[in-house]
Amino acid sequence: MWPLWLCWALWVLPLVGPGEALTEEQVLDSLLQQLQLSQAPTLDRADVEGLAMPPDVQDQYVSLLQRSHGDRSRGKRFSQSFREVAGKFLVSEASTHLLVFGMEGRLPPNSELVQAVLRLFQEPVPKAALRKQERPSSRSNRVRVTIEWLRVRDDGSNRTSLIDSRLVSINKSGWKVFDVTEAVNFWQQLRRPRQPLLLQVSVQREHLGPGASNAHKLVRFTAQGAVGAEQTEPQLELHTLDLKDYGAQGNCDPEAPVTQGTRCCRQQTYLDLQGMKWAENWVLEPPGVLTYECVGSCLQLPEPLTIKWPFLGPRQCIASETSSLPMIVNIKEGDRTRPQVVSLPNMRVQKCSCASDGAPAPRGLQP
């Protein structure tokens, strides 16, 4: 049997890099590596105008986004209470709806957003309309509902970002649930608490081309009708964690400056991709990256232990868990372009820990 100190030494051999802030160069280098390119392509605005986003690309991107949300909240519990925000249908035209939610004071200070859930009520389709539906089948009775975050820029122009996309049945009415965590995260980066959250809801055909079903025209997300007034509007559920109660999660106090005496913690940062020249007309989603870096200091080993284990260096604040960053980029093939999902590994810091020279903290031996 190997001595205990040798087992511990072998455990710390796999090193993890320091949890530094994600940079523009890291994102670009990772993109080029994933796509096997030597440099960023130069695309014109004409290459992206009128570009349709295929449903399978939407599904793949949203799936990776939701998986990233799950990784970020791993090991946490929801607070016993959550805030519910009633929204309004600002505009409703055919199969497109614009929702508005007043967000001022809705997110408690010193809290972390875990999940944001959008609830919309789907009205029942009249039986007469269902009987007129062409080619009645399980496939023709499904439609695609897409949720986008709408940002109004300072110059008055609009920018939408894909948040969620899924299939719903025209035969099943009632409340439908969508994950809009990424939209609230984007809204937070604007740092304009009085600006409302705008969500665009689009109902589309499942299949394109001639002979496709027109079932999407039958789906309506509106008030619930004769039911109580408190249930007639779209609902936004905000699940947050109080960092005072969950301080062991290792997140920095956003109100306190980082000093030499700051204990190792995870600090939120934001990387704006829209302002980067190389990403113009190439990176379609996301408009920016909510990421983290590990900052602060760690308690060092007592001198007797440093003599006993001379191979261990100073303890550092490092990233012990990371997750990938999903993106949608524009791929040019000849005279045509198409969107493609790319997943960049180890781009987001999920957890910071104290370890010797970047090694993960040792775990206790299991019986």
Residue 31 confidence (pLDDT)? 92
Tell me the longest C-alpha to C-alpha distance in the chain.
84
Cα separation, 348 vs 68, whole angstroms: 9
Per residue in 171-186, pLDDT tens?
A: 888 889 999 988 998 8
Instruction: Residue 286: name the closest of 98, 22, 46, 77 by CA.
Output: 22
Residue 91, beta-bridge partner list:
98
Cα separation, 257 vs 340, whole angstroms: 40
Per residue in 147-174, pLDDT tens?
A: 999 998 888 888 899 999 989 888 888 8
**355 backbone dihedrals φ, ψ, rounded to 5°:** -155, 160
CATH code of the domain made up of 16-52+247-355: 2.10.90.10
Instruction: Residue 21: name the closest of 268, 260, 358 by CA.
Output: 268
Task: Provide the 8-state DSSP code for 159.
Answer: E
Cα separation, 165 vs 150, whole angstroms: 15
For 188, half-sphere exposure in the C-beta direction (CA atoms, 13 angstrom radius) is 21
Would you list the domain boundaries of the chain? Answer: 16-52+247-355, 77-245
Sheet of 283-285, strands arranged across: 283-285, 315-333, 336-356
Say how many C-beta atoms besides its own lie within 10 A of residue 127's C-beta: 8
Residue 244 confidence (pLDDT)? 56
Is the CATH number 2.60.120 carried by domain 77-245? yes
**157 backbone dihedrals φ, ψ, rounded to 5°:** -80, 160
Residue 147 confidence (pLDDT)? 94
Two structure tokens written together for 316: 């550092």
Angstrom CA distances, 171 to 42, 137, 146, 158, 160, stand at: 46, 11, 18, 34, 29
Per residue in 237-291, pLDDT tens?
A: 998 766 555 433 478 888 888 887 788 888 888 888 888 899 988 999 998 888 8
Instruction: Give the position of tokens 């109004």.
Output: 152
Instruction: Give the position of tokens 């051999």.
Output: 13
For 349, half-sphere exposure in the C-beta direction (CA atoms, 13 angstrom radius) is 29
Q: Which residues of the chain have a pLDDT value below 50?
A: 1-17, 72-81, 138, 224-230, 246-249, 358-367
Residue 1 confidence (pLDDT)? 33
